[in-house]
Amino acid sequence: MTHAMISSNADTTSVFVRVKEWRDKVAGNSYFSAQVHVNGAYAFSLPFQYGYGDQALTEALTELEKRGYVATTCRPFWALREQGIAAYSAFSDDTKRNVKAWGTILDD
C-alpha cells in the first residue's frame, strides 16, 4: 500500500492519533500501538511498543516530524494547535493481540 506524502508542513491541517493500549497485569508493564491520520487520511502506524501515558503522542509527534508533516518545534503534541493544526487523539484499552495488530494493520 502506498501513501501520499504531504508536500510540506504548511499543508498539514489536522492530525488524529488513534491509540490502543494493553497492560500486562503480571509484569505491570504498559504497551501501545497507534495509527496516525493526517488531513483525514491514513499516514502511518506506530508498532507495538512499551510506553504509557502520553508516550504514544510523543512517538507520533517524533514520526510526524521525521516525515515532514509538522515542524520540529512542536512540543508537546498539543503544541500543534499553536501552528494552526487541529490535533486530536483517542485512547482505548484492548487485548495484547489487538494492540499488536493495530500497529501493523495498514502498513505494507
Per-residue pLDDT of the chain (108 residues; tens, 9 = 90+): 334 444 445 699 999 999 999 999 999 999 999 999 999 999 999 999 999 999 999 999 999 999 999 987 778 888 898 889 999 999 999 999 999 999 886 654
- Residue 6: predicted pLDDT: 45
- Residue 106: predicted pLDDT: 64
- Residue 71: predicted pLDDT: 83
What residue spans of the chain are helical by DSSP H? Answer: 55-66, 96-102
- Residue 4: predicted pLDDT: 43
* Cβ neighbours, 10 Å, residue 24: 11
Note whether 71 and 11 are within 8 A (CB). Answer: no
- Residue 17: predicted pLDDT: 97
Angstrom distances, CA of residue 61 to CA of 9, 64, 68, 75: 13, 5, 11, 8
